[in-house]
A and B are shown apart, each in its own frame.
Chain A
Amino acid sequence: MAMKYLDKYPKNLAKSLWVLKPCWAVMKLFAKTVTHRSMTILYPYEKEWIPDNYRGRPGLRFDKCVGCGMCVRMCPTACIKLIEVPDDEGKPVMRPQVNLGRCAMCGYCAEYCPLDAMTVTPDYELAEYTRYDLLYGPRRLNYEGTTPGMEVKLEVTLPSDIENGNPERRVSFFDLDRPELTDSKCIGCKKCAKVCPVNAIEMVEKGVNDKGKPILRPVIDNSKCICCSNCVLDCPKDALQIKEVL
């Protein structure tokens, strides 16, 4: 490899006529911009082309969302909050609300959404008159014309797959990890079943204890589970742990 610039410079400036060459360079551009248009984009009237995956404000597809709270946990600026809103049939459901005054547009909510209900949107003109207007409720977060390109897939390759010589297999981050029960710690309080947003946990009777009461243990439906770790966080006795598949 050779140096491209250091081979030619520094030059003997007397040979390049002191100041004439920069004047000539400027004059060339002047002639170009007088006949053609200049590089400026007249912003409010013209806008730059932006791709689908542009990270503007977060968008939410209300129907796809299950209210698992993954976005709330992953948000680095803590701008997302779960609030209770009525859904299409009037039933109260938990959905995220985004405070765009704090949002850093990092795209983590869209990336870590297990169901890709959260998306990034190319919407970046977000100025409002009051701070209150910057609170985007679940319905307002909806973005018209969400395309598949706006979803951020979290696809990973397992280190074990690479070792096994199957490096091309990519799996969704949320299809792998499942909560695992430590049976001795569980007290059968049913909390995990209550907080599960997708109803993947079912409390099953497993015999009777010495007082004659039924022993309840959670059974996790692996096909339904989205690995949101709500049950893990809400377990009062730390009986549930996410088992990481590597």
Chain B
Amino acid sequence: MVQEYSSILDWIVFNDPMKNPYYPFVDTYNLPFDIGYKLWEILGGAIAWLINLIFPGNPVSTWLVCDATSTLMGLLIFMLLIFIIAFVSTLIVLWMERKCLGRMMDRRGTMVGMKGFLQCVADGLKTFMKENTAPKKVDKMTYWWCVSLIVGLSVLVLCMVPLSQRWFVVDYQTGLLIIMAFFALAPFLILVSGWAQNNKYSLIGGMRAAELMISYEVPMLILIATTALLAGSFNIGDIVNAQNETVWYIIPQIIGAITFFFCATAEAERVPFDIAEAEAELVEGWQTEYAGMKWGLIMLGDYMRGSVSCSMFAILYLGGWTLPFIGNGPIPEIVFLLKSYLVFFFMILIRCALARVRTDQILNIGWKVFMPLSVINLAIVLLLKVGGVF
């Protein structure tokens, strides 16, 4: 391709990323990649133009704007964008929890800047300032790796949740299952880190996390399978589209939705099911020996997992990013986030109104209440499916 480069506009041409032979998303349009690609067009194009001004006709400039480089750089910016949006939405969840919890308790919540939003920033800075201590007798390797993996997995799962048809990382056929699999990995690591810390409180906390995981994973997977059965696919986009075409699945599966809500609360280890870090009897449970930013990241990871469970609820039962009669609106991402915040609001309400349940009670509820309820839900869905309603 021989081209004359005379002005900057020859370098910044805004090609259609989908026509790029290296386009990574096969044939679906991806908004964040589009934004990243165009940002690189501007940035790389300007750099290439500048270099070309000094050394006319050099190969670096053409390399900077070639298809492959643009895709690579576009992907980098795409990752950053996905992470930032996910991170900010987590911070909003955190802020919302603090504010709503405050109002429900007849106090004001955080007050630092932007209606208290900047308190998250202040807390982050504060935990960074703290000394990074580790007890002498911990199992070093597991101690450090567990916290990294818990946080890393939480970020990974959060980034994998699609915000809309055009805002996703990978469009898996089994997207839902993979998200749930990663989501369920963290309790294993909690168990391991409970052992690694060489502390009685952590040990009990880790054991409790394992109990929790075993008893809540099963009904949750049954519920997900039920929804997949109803939609006929494990693909998140298909599930949402199926709900858009028929009706939100909260209506046929109201039992399932309530059960899923509580299971998701347990998975995210929030009050009433936060027995793994039960403050009153176990200090901080499995987080006891984590100090400074390690603890801060764990807390952030907790909220990330909380917002993932809310997103899952919105996808499975509230029609994802679609609205009834409208379908995909102009900005489905906002619709989706608002729906997940609504679910999170109920989680806050539950946290505010209820107390922590005991270990034996949690197992009782898991196996004797939620498990039968999810099976009943499955039976209802099967009847509906067989009866030809869906």
Contact = CB atoms under 8 A, between A and B. Distances in A.
The answer to whether any beta carbons of A and B sit under 8 Å apart in the complex is yes
B353 A22 contact: yes
Interface of A is mostly: helix
A214 to B, nearest CB: 77
B353 A23 contact: yes
18 contacts: A19-B350, A19-B353, A19-B354, A23-B353, A25-B353, A26-B353, A27-B104, A27-B349, A29-B105, A29-B106, A30-B104, A34-B103, A38-B102, A38-B103, A39-B106, A39-B107, A40-B106, A42-B108
Interface string A170-187: 000000000000000000
Nearest to B272: A19
A33 interface: yes
Is the interface on chain B under 10, 10 to 19, 20 to 34, or 35 or more residues?
10 to 19
B108 to A, nearest CB: 5
Interface of B: 100, 102-108, 111, 349-350, 352-354
B57 to A, nearest CB: 65
Is the interface on chain A under 10, 10 to 19, 20 to 34, or 35 or more residues?
10 to 19
Contacts of B107: 38-40
A40 B352 CA distance: 18
Given A25-B353, A34-B103, 11 more contacts: A22-B353, A22-B354, A26-B104, A26-B352, A27-B104, A29-B106, A33-B104, A38-B103, A38-B107, A39-B107, A40-B107
A33 B354 contact: no
A35 to B, nearest CB: 10
A23 B350 contact: yes
Interface in A165-208: none
B106 A38 contact: yes
A34 B99 CA distance: 10
B213 to A, nearest CB: 23
Contacts of A29: 103-106
A30 B353 contact: no
The 10 closest A-B CB pairs, nearest first, are A22-B353, A33-B103, A26-B353, A23-B353, A39-B106, A40-B107, A30-B104, A26-B352, A40-B108, A26-B104
A42 B109 CA distance: 11
Contacts of A39: 106-107
A25 B350 CA distance: 11
Contacts of A19: 350, 353-354
Contacts of B102: 38
B101 to A, nearest CB: 10
